[in-house]
Amino acid sequence: MNGLVEISDPGIANSLQDLGRVGYRHMGIAVSGCLDPLLARCANALVGNPSGCACIEVRAAGPALTVRQGRVRVALTGALTATLVRSGGDERDVPPWQSVSLDPGDALRVGFAAGGAAYVAISGGFETPLQLGSRSTYRRAEIGEPVALGMRIPCAALPHKGAHEYSACPWRHDEGPIRVMLGPQDDHFKPEAIAVLLSGDYAVTAQSDRMGMRLEGPALAHLTPASADIVSDGTTLGAIQVPGNGLPIILLADCQTAGGYPKIATVIGADLPRLAQLRPGQSIRFLAIDAREARQALQALETRWKWWAYGVVHGMPGAEIDKDWRAGWPLYQDGWCQDE
């Protein structure tokens, strides 16, 4: 049997995202996908899904879902909690990093994302129609579906009532400066501009969305005023473009496929998910590394993800979730989730 959930409250600015829409950039179609693919992969793992299933990305007030059909499993990742309202009226809190199963009539009221992007995964994924190979919402071009009131989304139902729940330690992103590779247009800047980028303290501004993150801080001087304009060329996620005012903009998942501002540097793939966790006002610093180091960082991240996934515990009986989740379940006693 299939599961079916209904959006009973759309929340604010929530979107359906998977790992993105690759292969269409030549038509000007953004890659989209989760701003923090690591947290989305974790959320999927916590409901037993492969990494590519669509999740709801929450960046402000989360949505509310009501189960209409089937027993379904959901999990939250990131700085996000929810309230589970059983069809009988009982309520309990749902913390992130563990799954919970819902029966028809049960509702999940997702709270406010207190950090950066956070995710809600569901068994089988939110199965909205595929558009150009992906379920990712790309609002600027009305591709993919927005999370709207009354929308009914199919998912997978769990086979039987005695389903066990999944849990894991919270994923921890790397710390330290955001790593970049210089270029492709670092030669459009004065040498001191590179030094300023790599030593300056920048702050994320409120003028940030899924397309890009505008930064505030020391202006970066172009070589000449004419160097602030280029004949448009290809862009990608993480590219740091600098318009005439000298203030950098980091391109994110919904970014344009080509653009005419020179790109002084590009954030490496391993650090893109970290950008999704920065909120307006937070500071950001950059470190330049080379291609070999970038590759090592990405491989290390994938290894760490595998270790995290091996640590997903599958075993808490489903009924336990309605008792106090800390009492009587040794995994959740204080001190279990330590730093590595």
Chain contacts with another protein (rule: CB under 8 A): 22-31, 131, 140-143, 180-181, 183-185, 207, 211-212, 226, 228-239, 243-245, 256-261, 263, 266-269, 291, 294-295, 298-299, 302
- Cβ-contact 192, 222 below 8 angstroms: no
CB closer to another protein, 233 vs 322: 233
CB closer to another protein, 291 vs 327: 291
Minimum distance of another protein from residue 136's CB (angstroms): 13
Locate tokens 């066990």: which residue? 164
Minimum distance of another protein from residue 63's CB (angstroms): 24
Minimum distance of another protein from residue 146's CB (angstroms): 14
Q: Whole-angstrom Cα distance, residue 234 to residue 243?
A: 16
CB closer to another protein, 111 vs 212: 212
Closest to 57 in 3D by CA, of 123, 128, 137, 132:
137
Minimum distance of another protein from residue 301's CB (angstroms): 10
CB closer to another protein, 104 vs 183: 183
Q: Whole-angstrom Cα distance, residue 178 to residue 288?
A: 9
Consecutive H or E run containing 258: strand 258-259
Q: Which amino acid is at 107?
A: A
DSSP 8-state code for residue 271: G
Say which residues have a Cβ less than 8 Å from residue 240's Cβ, sequence separation at least 6: 180, 197, 248, 249, 250, 251, 263, 264, 265, 266, 267
CB closer to another protein, 133 vs 315: 133
Minimum distance of another protein from residue 210's CB (angstroms): 12
CB closer to another protein, 283 vs 296: 296
- DSSP per position, 175-202: -SSEEEEE-SSGGGB-HHHHHHHHH--E
Minimum distance of another protein from residue 334's CB (angstroms): 37
Locate tokens 């038509």: which residue? 27
Minimum distance of another protein from residue 13's CB (angstroms): 16
- Cβ-contact 264, 248 below 8 angstroms: yes
Peptide bond into 37 cis (omega under 30): no
CB closer to another protein, 68 vs 295: 295
